[in-house]
């Protein structure tokens, strides 16, 4: 139809920037705005957010409860991989963005939109996650980022809202930038930008200060099936409920606080505070169960894969072929990661204190030093001889006479008398008794 406006699907949070973006996009690009608000476990009045978007001028306001999808396809994948960015961050916010990007694309295709938009600035990681995710799934869609384009300060954005009658929160603004989902809470800016300053108490809302936690430890038994937690203390739960209950339990004991100097994708370092009670406990428990059910080589290789997957998630490459291929490996590695882990929660610390698994590789008859020991210790002599043969050979031929370099200290102060041999001929072996010849 001639004169019909194009549509833009906006990822809408209900905050200042995305609320202003509804009218800013409509004015600048002469388009109709459809807002999409995604529930990934963030505490928000979604009905109010929908009404607000319509009041501001959105053609349509869509709200999707994506918590179950978030857990099943994103959180559990990261947990099975033991993905921790730089060994600390459980990737809560980073995991939610590819899901939001997919839902933006799905909505755009359903609504016949030509573009999608988000409220990310040009300084953070999320802009990359949204842009790359959308273009990977639907290269024909345009991606608009008003906060990256309009060049307004916060004060100017507020003035823009007042001038156009856009309702904005009148409550006292938090001094921090906060993002929340089921898997964790991210806090930054304000006084936290000084890496010397201890995070103030008001930064934390999910976790108690360890000095205010119960004086008696709590024990929880976490049941896993193929690397996925399915029960707490014998009671089965769906994924969303299990994470919510673990967040409450571990948070009550002060567990899950992370203070991290992080390397952002855009090339700067930032100081990030995270609260991730459930993620902290479940990742630790999962690793403990893998220690029972994976071989040494599997565990060591999987640690390398975990680093790669964490980087993929953090860097916005969820929809890459590399992530898909590694996901297949992770799934295969979890075939026997079934069992129960008992964890002790006390004063800000989670400690694994018990493990059991039907396919455990831990064999008591081999490990014990007491009765029932079936390990044949006499076999160790030959094993040691063969295992150390390359080191012993090279040491005798090359290293014992080496008096230079950082390893020169290994040479004995008094060298053993060497047998002189003709050039190109091996030294004669000393005569050994038949008994000695049989020893390793």
| Token duo for residue 51 | 């009404």
126 is catalytic: yes
Q: Which DSSP symbol is given to 277?
A: H
Strand locations in 79-160 (E): 115-117, 142-144
238 is catalytic: no
Crossing angle for the helix pair 16-29 and 46-56, to the nearest 10 degrees? 30
SS percent in the chain: helix, strand, coil, step 5: 45, 20, 40
Q: Is 87 left (phi over 0), alpha (psi -120 to 50) or beta?
A: left
Residues, the chain = 440
433 is catalytic: no
Nearest residue to 252 via CA among 261, 244, 264, 262: 244
Catalytic residue among 32, 50, 96, 126: 126
Q: Is 229 helix (H, G, I), strand (E, B) or coil?
A: strand
Crossing angle for the helix pair 16-29 and 154-163, to the nearest 10 degrees? 70
Q: Which DSSP symbol is given to 183?
A: T
Q: Measured between alpha carbons, how far is 399 from 404 in angstroms, rounded to an integer?
A: 10
Q: Which DSSP symbol is given to 182?
A: T
State how beta strands 142-144 and 177-181 pair: unpaired
Catalytic residue among 174, 177, 380, 408: 177
Q: Which DSSP symbol is given to 396?
A: I
Catalytic residue among 17, 19, 131, 257: 17
104, HSE (Cβ side, Cα atoms, 13 Å): 33
Catalytic residue among 13, 19, 97, 131: 97
Nearest residue to 256 via CA among 90, 86, 95: 90
**Which long-range contacts does 317-324 make (Cβ < 8 Å, 24+ apart)?**
317/132, 318/98, 318/129, 318/133, 319/98, 319/132, 319/133, 319/136, 319/137, 320/136
Phi/psi for 143 (5° steps) reads: -115, 120
Q: Is 219 helix (H, G, I), strand (E, B) or coil?
A: strand
17 is catalytic: yes
- What are the residue numbers of the active site? 17, 97, 126, 177
């Amino acid at each position: 139809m001639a004169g019909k406006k194009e549509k833009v699907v906006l990822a809408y949070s209900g905050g200042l920037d995305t609320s202003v973006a509804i009218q800013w996009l409509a004015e600048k690009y002469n388009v109709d705005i459809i807002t999409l608000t995604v529930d990934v476990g963030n505490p928000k009045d979604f009905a109010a957010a929908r009404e607000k978007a319509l009041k501001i001028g959105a053609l349509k306001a869509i709200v999707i409860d994506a918590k179950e999808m978030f857990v099943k396809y994103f959180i559990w994948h990261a947990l099975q991989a033991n993905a921790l960015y730089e060994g600390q961050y459980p990737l809560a916010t980073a995991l939610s963005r590819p899901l939001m990007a997919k839902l933006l694309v799905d909505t755009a295709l359903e609504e016949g939109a030509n573009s999608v938009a988000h409220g990310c600035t040009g300084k953070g990681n999320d802009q990359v996650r949204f842009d790359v995710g959308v273009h990977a799934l639907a290269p024909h869609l345009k991606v608009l980022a008003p906060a990256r384009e309009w060049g307004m300060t916060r004060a100017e954005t507020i003035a823009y809202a007042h001038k156009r009658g856009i309702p904005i929160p009148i409550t006292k603004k938090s001094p921090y930038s906060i993002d929340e989902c089921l898997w964790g809470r991210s806090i930054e800016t304000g006084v936290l930008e000084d890496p010397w300053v201890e995070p103030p108490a008001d930064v934390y809302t999910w976790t108690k200060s360890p000095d205010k936690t119960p004086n008696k430890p709590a024990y929880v038994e976490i049941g896993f099936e193929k690397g996925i937690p399915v029960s707490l203390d014998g009671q089965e739960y769906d994924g969303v409920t299990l994470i919510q209950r673990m967040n409450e339990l571990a948070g009550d004991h002060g567990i899950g606080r992370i203070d991290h100097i992080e390397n952002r994708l855009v090339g700067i370092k930032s100081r990030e505070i995270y609260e991730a009670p459930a993620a902290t406990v479940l990742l630790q428990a999962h690793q403990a169960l893998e220690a029972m059910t994976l071989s040494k080589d599997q565990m060591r290789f999987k640690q390398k894969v975990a680093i790669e997957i964490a980087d993929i998630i953090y860097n916005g490459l969820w929809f890459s072929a590399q992530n898909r291929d590694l996901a297949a490996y992770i799934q295969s590695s979890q075939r026997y990661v079934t069992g129960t882990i008992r964890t002790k929660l006390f004063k800000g610390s989670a400690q694994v204190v018990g493990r059991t698994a039907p396919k455990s590789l831990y064999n008591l008859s081999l490990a014990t030093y007491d009765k029932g020991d079936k390990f044949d210790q006499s076999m160790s002599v030959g094993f040691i001889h063969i295992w150390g043969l390359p080191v012993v050979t090279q040491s005798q031929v090359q290293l014992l006479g080496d008096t230079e370099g950082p390893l020169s200290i290994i040479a004995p102060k008094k060298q053993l008398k060497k047998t002189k041999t003709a050039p190109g001929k091996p030294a004669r072996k000393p005569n050994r008794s038949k008994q000695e010849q049989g020893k390793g």
